[in-house]
């Protein structure tokens, strides 16, 4: 990790930069080519990309019920039990987010209300590869079910043998998702955007992925399909004071670094001793990780920064706007009250970020790359639309009508005013 001691506030902006992604134009161009190919050739294009990019020769893009049954038998009982417990916690937290219908009179005879309506068809993209994210399927599938989305389409890449990871299929079965497509990468997002014979076009696309998937989601948004949020590589910022346990902090940093070589971890401390011990412990624990090569690459773009006060650390964090924020400090509750920009916050020495990744109940699909300044993580709200309604009685129109007429005339929108004037005249004739 890069160690920086007591940088001035003028230097903070440079230290808050995320790792450069590079080749953005080439990625965007390739994604556009894939979208055009999938639009023109449909399933044929998806089968082609499965062979070329995933090394899989597929007879069918859809996962069959028989494949699901066979996969469930391969998932160890203890893992099944863990997933079920995580499911319950996530469901409990998200079910509490339901809002009742808000109905009120803004003035006598003018009634307004708002109703939550589920997004009708959602697409969930779940990466496979070296780290099949079945936990993300829980994070997306549970609120989609609670919201009442009538149709859920799951896309996930196949392995070289043409199968889908058994734990992903077990989780899909637990969620009651039966439309499962063997498609990954930008081509899956393209299929969800425009539809093919095997893949229904959806209204909104959720899920993480590499830079090609991210670029594909952004292109989907340009073509009229909503997405959950802009997303990039995973990141964590840890604020650690003199009471922090360096072993715990190092483990938290590495838990994000092992996600991928473009992940970023940031340590802030006002204790030179803690900073030194954590960086040493990171190197010790790194050698023990199966994914140590991946984590080591991420650490090259990561920083350990020594600041003078708790106030400075909190200000730096709010400017950085981390996806995950860990407050490994003595009075975490007090510091948490000052957090204004973060995806999800973990308070105290016994609350690892990994708990939120899997099973505490909060959602781990969170804004990255500084988007926590203006985006929230995925919640039940992500899967519903809030539609407003209104009804006006004769008495209400007599009271409200002149207000609308005056405002419309002032804006020079005569037809707006006339829409009220004609109705008021009809009431006088009754």
> CATH code at 52?
3.40.50.1980
Is the residue at 382 inside a domain?
Answer: no
Q: Which residue has the tokens 């004609």?
A: 422
Q: Tell me which H or E stretch contains 103.
A: strand 102-107
One domain for residues 176 and 268: no
> Cβ contacts of residue 44 below 8 Å, gap of 6+?
none
Shared-domain flag, residues 174 and 278: no
Instruction: Output phi, psi for 118, to 5 deg.
Output: -65, 145
> Among 16-30, 35-49, 231-245, 287-301, whose mean pLDDT is lowest?
16-30
Residue 198 pLDDT: 96
Residue 405 lies in a domain: yes
The answer on 88 and 212 residing in a single domain is: yes
Task: Count structural domains, the chain.
Answer: 3
pLDDT at 106 over 80: yes
Task: Tell me how far CA of residue 148 lies from CA of 117, 151, 336, in angstroms.
Answer: 8, 9, 33
Q: Which of residues 177, 199, 227 is at a domain's end?
A: 227
**Residue 411: pLDDT over 90:** yes
Q: Which residues are annotated as a binding site?
A: 125, 187, 210, 234, 256, 259, 324, 357, 411, 416
140 plus 258 within the same structural domain: no
Categorize the per-residue pLDDT at 232 as very low, low, confident or very high, splitting at 50, 70 and 90: confident
In which domain, by residue range, is 102 found?
24-111+119-227
Helix (H, G, I), strand (E, B) or coil at 413: coil
Tell which residue, 25, 7, 26, 27, has the closest CA to residue 17.
Answer: 7
Rounded to an integer, the average pLDDT of 328-352 is 98
Residues 160 and 254 in one domain: no
Asked if residues 242 and 211 have their Cβ atoms less than 8 Å apart, the reply is no
CB-count exposure of residue 224 (10 Å: 0-12, 13-18, 19+): exposed
Same domain, 404 and 369: no
The mean predicted confidence, pLDDT, of the chain is 95
**For the chain, how big is the Rg over CA atoms in Å?**
25
Dihedral through CA 354, CA 356, CA 360, CA 362, nearest 10?
A: -170
Per-residue confidence (pLDDT) for residue 24, from 0 to 100: 81
Q: Which residues are catalytic?
A: 323-324
| Token pair recorded at residue 257 | 């670094």
- Out of 191, 206, 227, a domain closes at 227
Q: What per-residue confidence (pLDDT) applies to 9?
A: 96
* pLDDT one-digit tens code per residue, 34-76: 999 999 999 999 999 999 999 999 999 999 999 999 999 999 9
CA atoms of 144 and 365, how far apart (whole Å):
13
Residue linked to tokens 């209204």: 203
Whether residue 40 is found in the same domain as residue 129: yes
For residues 212 and 332, membership in a common domain is answered with no
Q: Is residue 13 part of a domain?
A: no
198 domain-assigned? yes
Longest dimension (CA), the chain: 87
Please check whether residues 31 and 143 belong to one and the same domain: yes
Residue 188, domain member (yes or no): yes
Taking only the tens place, the pLDDT of each residue in 130-148 is: 678 999 999 999 999 999 9
Half-sphere exposure for 51 (CA within 13 Å, toward CB): 10
Q: What is the pLDDT of residue 355?
A: 97
Q: Which of 8-17, 37-46, 217-226, 230-239 has the lowest mean pLDDT?
A: 230-239
In a domain, 321, yes or no: yes
User: What is the 8-class DSSP label of residue 156?
Assistant: E
Residue 332 in tokens: 């975490």
Task: Please report the pLDDT score of residue 429 as a whole number.
Answer: 81
Beta-strand (E) ranges in 277-403?
303-306, 324-328, 344-347, 384-392
Region 367-386: mean pLDDT is 95
Q: Which residues of 149-172 are buried (b: 16+ CB within 10 A; e: fewer)?
A: bebbbbbbbbeeebbbbbbbbbbb
Same domain, 220 and 243: no
Res. 128 pLDDT band, cuts 50 70 90: confident
- 126 by Cβ neighbours in 10 Å (0-12 / 13-18 / 19+) ranks as buried
**15 within some domain:** no
Q: Are residues 254 and 209 in the same domain?
A: no
- 62: how many CB neighbours lie within 10 A of its CB? 15
**Has residue 204 been placed in a domain?**
yes
Q: How far apart are CA 195 and CA 183, in angstroms?
A: 13
Q: What's the pLDDT band for 22 if we cut at 50, 70, 90?
A: low
**Reported confidence tier of residue 21, pLDDT bands at 50, 70, 90:** low
Residue 145, both tokens: 């079910």
- 19 pLDDT band, cuts 50/70/90, is confident
* 38-48 core/surface letters (b: 16 or more CB in 10 A; e: else): bbeebbebbbe
Domain boundary among 176, 205, 227: 227
Mean pLDDT of 159-174: 95
Q: Are residues 338 and 284 in the same domain?
A: yes
In order, the DSSP letters of 110-131 are EEEEEEEEE-SEEEEE---TTS
Q: How confident is the model at residue 205 (pLDDT cuts 50, 70, 90)?
A: very high
Which contiguous run of DSSP H or E holds residue 266? strand 264-269
């Amino acid at each position: 990790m890069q160690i920086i001691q007591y940088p001035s506030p003028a230097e903070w902006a440079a230290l808050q930069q995320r790792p450069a992604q590079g080749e953005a134009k080439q990625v965007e161009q390739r994604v556009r080519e894939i979208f055009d190919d999938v639009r023109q050739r449909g399933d044929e294009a998806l089968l082609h990309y499965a062979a070329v990019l995933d090394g899989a020769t597929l007879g069918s893009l859809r996962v069959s019920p028989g494949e699901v049954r066979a996969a469930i038998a391969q998932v160890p009982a203890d893992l099944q039990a863990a997933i079920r417990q995580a499911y319950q916690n996530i469901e409990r937290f998200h079910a509490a987010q339901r809002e009742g219908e808000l109905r009120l009179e803004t003035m006598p005879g003018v009634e307004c209300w708002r109703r939550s309506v589920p997004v009708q068809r959602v697409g969930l993209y779940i990466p496979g590869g070296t780290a099949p994210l079945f936990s993300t399927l829980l994070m997306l599938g549970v609120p989609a079910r609670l919201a009442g989305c009538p149709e859920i389409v799951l896309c996930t890449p196949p392995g070289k043998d043409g199968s889908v990871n058994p734990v992903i299929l077990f989780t899909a079965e637990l969620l009651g998702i039966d439309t499962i497509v063997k498609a990954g990468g930008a081509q899956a997002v393209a299929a969800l955007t425009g539809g093919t014979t095997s893949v229904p076009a959806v209204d909104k696309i959720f899920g993480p992925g590499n830079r090609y998937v991210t670029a594909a989601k952004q292109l989907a948004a340009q073509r009229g399909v909503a997405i959950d949020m802009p997303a990039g590589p995973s990141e964590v910022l840890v604020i650690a004071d003199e009471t922090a346990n360096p072993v715990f902090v190092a483990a938290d940093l590495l838990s994000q670094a092992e996600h991928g070589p473009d992940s970023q971890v940031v340590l802030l401390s006002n204790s030179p001793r803690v900073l030194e011990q954590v960086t040493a412990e990171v190197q010790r624990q790194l050698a023990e990780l199966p994914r140590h090569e991946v984590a080591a690459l991420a650490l090259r773009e990561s920083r350990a920064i020594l600041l003078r006060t708790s106030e400075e650390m909190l200000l730096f964090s709010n400017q950085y706007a981390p996806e995950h924020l860990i407050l490994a400090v003595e009075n975490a509750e007090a510091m948490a009250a000052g957090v204004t920009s973060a995806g999800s916050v973990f308070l105290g020495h016994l609350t690892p970020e990994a708990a939120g990744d899997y099973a505490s109940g909060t959602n781990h699909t969170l804004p990255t790359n500084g988007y926590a300044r203006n985006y929230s993580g995925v919640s039940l709200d992500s899967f519903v639309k809030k539609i407003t309604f209104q009804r006006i009685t004769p008495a209400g129109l007599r009271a409200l009508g002149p207000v609308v007429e005056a405002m419309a005339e002032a804006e020079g929108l005569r037809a707006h005013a006339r829409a009220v004037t004609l109705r008021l005249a009809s009431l006088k004739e009754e």
